[in-house]
Each structure stands twice: as C-alpha cells, then as structure tokens.
Amino acid sequence: MVVTPDAILKQAAEQQVEFVSLQYTDIVGMVKNVTIPISELPDCLDHGVWFDGSSLEGFARVAESDMYLAPDLDTFAVIPWDAAAGFTTARMICDVRTPDGKSFAGDPRYALRRALDAARRMGMTFLVGPEVEFFLFRSGDDGRPALIPHDAAGYFDATTDAATHIRRRMVRALAAFGIDVEATHHEGALGQHEIDLRHTHGLRAADHLVTTRATLKAIAQQHNLYATFMPKPIGGVNGNGLHMHLSLADAESGMNLFFNGDDSYGLSKLARHFVAGLLAHARGMIAVLAPLVNSYKRLVPGFEAPVYLIWGRTNRAQLVRVPRISAARPQSARVELRCPDPSCNPYLALAVILCAGLDGIRRELPLPPPVEEDLFQVDLRARQFDVLPATLGVALEELQRDEVVTEALGPHILERFVEARTREWEEYSRFISQWELDRYLPVY
C-alpha cells in the first residue's frame, strides 16, 4: 500500500501529534534530527525541510551546507515513549537532498539505495533479518552507565532473567514502529540480551536497526538501566554481535533465490557465489561492519565471534553460517554473516555487504569447502585460514584497498569515514593503558 501525504496528515490529526522529528543518520551511524511543530508538516510533506548540514561532523563541507530532508512517508510513526513526557511526537526517517533536489552523496541511506538498485537491475531484492545483541547495565549514582550487569542469568535462562518484562516492553515499543520481532532471549553473558528482527527488505531493515537502537535505549532508561551496543564492554566474556541473515529474492515473483534442495547445504549456485563474495571482501568491509577500536576486541577466538574467513553450519567462529532450514520452507533459505557488530552504521553496513555478495555473483567466485566444528582444530593445523584484521588500523588500510567496498561507499563517504575513524585509531594508539603500566613498569 502506498502511503500518501493526505493519509499522514489524517493519521497525525487522529493521533493528536504535536511535533514531528525528522531523522537521518550521519556517516558514523548517529541518528540526527530536526523537530518541526505539526503546523509545518503539510509544507514539509510537499517540499521537505531545509537544514544546515555544515554543523554535522563528517557530513558536509561549508560549501555544501544547505541540504534538505525529504521524509520517507512509509516511516511515519508516533514515538511511544514520548507520550510519557506529555507530548505526542511522531518521527519520519528522511533522505538527504542537495538544493537542486539530487540525492546527497554523503547520505548513508543513499549509499544503500544505490546498492539495492544494483541488485534490482540484476532482477533481485535483498532481504535482511538482523539479530541485535546488547547489554543492560545498571546506572551509577552519578546517572552514568556503570559496568554492573543488570542480572546474573545466562543463555536462554528464564528463571533468573530479571529482564524478561523489560524485553517484552521493548518488543511492544518496536511494534509501535511497525518492527516485527521474531524472538527475544537472554544471551550468553551476564546482563546480555538479544532481539531478533523479522527479515524485511534492505532499506527497511537498516531503518529498523537505527530505530531499534534508540528504542532499546529509551525503554532501558525508563527502568533506570543503560542499554549498550558497545561491541565488547567487558573483557573475558562474549561481546555484542549484529548477525545479519541475508538472502536474495526474485524481484518479480518474490521467490527465494538462495534455495536448492539438491545441494548438501541447501544453497543455490547463486547463494554460493554470494557467500564467496562475502568471504572475498570480508577484510575490505570489516572497518564498516565493525567500526570501533573496541570492535576488534570482540573479534577474537573463544567468544562465539568470528575470526577466520571460513563458512559452514555449526562453527560459531565462522564468518558465515548457513542455518538449517526445513525442506518445506525453501523461502527461509539464507546465510548468516556473523562479523558485524551493533555499533555500525546499518545503512553503510548493508550497502557494502550487498555489493560484496553481488560481486561474488557477477564474477562467479568459487566457494571454498565448508569447515565444520569437529574438523576445525584439525583444519586449523593442516591449513592456515585467512583471518579478519586484528585492529581497526589494519581494517582501515584494507578498506582503502578494496575497490568493491570503496565504490559501494562512494568517494564522499569513504573520505570522511576513513578520516573520522583514522583519527580515532591514532588517538587510541597514543593512549597508554593501565594494562601496559601494570605489566611493564614493574619489569622494565
């Protein structure tokens, strides 16, 4: 169903909306917003809203400062937690345009649209189902997050899981935004949780992810808790992943193109090339999928996060896992990419993932044999697997060498992304940590 401006105005009046928050995402994945009173909404739906883009780090240069926000009508939704403060506020996610009405090269949503268009030209739709992991920490006396897990439960625990009700409130709030949740459960570490979103097409999945992060933080706050998507907040236990379940469907018929019942893994030739593309570009795209200094502390052996550039069904250290599906449900054939973490910019992440997979399809890249858990140690000794970069510094170098990934971002975003992250990496490299002092000062 196509949503019209009139339908939105009618809905806004019915729900007594007073303010509309116009949202977009900057290059590093932060949600930004401009709020307009409801009286401005008709104009905004007609022409968009002007804003000064130069105030945003990494977004626009002074010369390109005047931009406008063009709201995506499908994303109109009342923000459920604002009502508690006595306001009815709706939000709309926007595309960023230049004064002459063109898509802005620095808009991450546009980078994803370009990748989705490339798939469409090949007759395919990109479907994504994300698994969002996060920690709930208590807030300290000063109101800042403390590193104290909210509960003492473990993987799938029910009885000791104090957050069951909080997660249900989160699911309810997500539903208000039209985000369908497939499942939610406690994750492996203390205070760690997971919410699995139902698969949807790529652009909507990215929209859902930015909304999900904001929603979970808001609901946690209502319970005096702090929800964090930091990739590895606590050393020695699992970190937060953002596993992406990926598939391609025929753009006309909607038929899943990844399924082949005759294949031992249930994968079509196309799916195998797609996975080969993911493996081939993993080193090049990891800086986008795991963009923080801290992300690389998650990507180490022993914590169910991937390290090796391998694929299979059972090994949690694999980069790509192929979930088992029942033969009766070929539509659910998919592959799970395990390296992204929830600190990424979802638009840029899905853009580079899709372009990597499409490159595998275009070049018909061969997929190496799978590696399963029971063979893992043997294989590790017998052959050296390629690994993901161990630091953000190396990842940024690899990114700049990968033509498919750099093209997916486009020169504007690439330059600013690399600039922002390199600055962070250099700052970290100059920092002397407590670990170094404890370890070296008494000895040397």
Active site members: 52, 131, 133, 187, 194, 243, 316, 336, 338
User: Nearer Cβ to Mg ion, position 316 or 401?
Assistant: 316
CB of 323 to Mg ion, least distance (A): 12
| 245 phi/psi in degrees, rounded to 5 | -90, 120
For the bound state, the minimum distance from the C-beta of residue 263 to Mg ion, rounded and expressed in Å, comes to 26
Is 194 or 398 the residue whose CB approaches Mg ion more closely? 194
Q: How far is the CB of 146 from Mg ion (least distance, A)?
A: 24
Give the nearer residue to Mg ion in terms of CB position, either 114 or 338.
338
Task: Give min distance, CB of 18 to Mg ion, in A.
Answer: 39
**Distance in Å, CB of 373 to Mg ion, minimum:** 17
Q: Residue 161 or 194: which CB sits closer to Mg ion?
A: 194
Pick from 338, 316, 290, 320: which is nearest to 131 by CA? 338
Residue nearest to Mg ion (CB): 194
Interface residues with Mg ion (CB under 5 A) are 194
What distance in Å separates the CA atoms of residue 144 and residue 134, rounded to the nearest whole number?
A: 17
**Smallest gap from residue 194 Cβ to Mg ion (A):** 5
CB of 196 to Mg ion, least distance (A): 8
Q: Which is nearer to Mg ion, 147 or 183 (CB)?
A: 183
3-state DSSP of the chain: CCCCHHHHHHHHHHCCCCEEEEEEECCCCCEEEEEEEHHHHHHHHHHCEEEEHHHCCCCCCHHHCEEEEEECHHHCEECHHHHHHCCCEEEEEEEEECCCCCECCCCHHHHHHHHHHHHHHCCEEEEEEEEEEEEEEEECCCCCEEEEECCCCCCCCCCCCCCHHHHHHHHHHHHHCCCCEEEEEECCCCCEEEEEECCEEHHHHHHHHHHHHHHHHHHHHHCCEEEECCCCCCCCCCCCCEEEEEEEEECCCCCECCECCCCCCCECHHHHHHHHHHHHHHHHHHHHHCCCCCHHHHCCCCCCCCCECCEECCCCCCCEECCCCCCCCHHHCCEEECCCCCCCCHHHHHHHHHHHHHHHHHCCCCCCCCCCHHHHHHHHHHCCCCECCCCHHHHHHHHHHCHHHHHHHHHHHHHHHHHHHHHHHHHHHHCCCHHHHHHHCCCC
Closer residue to Mg ion, CB minimum distance, 50 or 156: 156
Q: How many angstroms separate the CA atoms of 397 and 318, rounded?
A: 23
Q: Which two tokens stand for residue 173?
A: 């709030």
C-beta closer to Mg ion: residue 194 or 402: 194
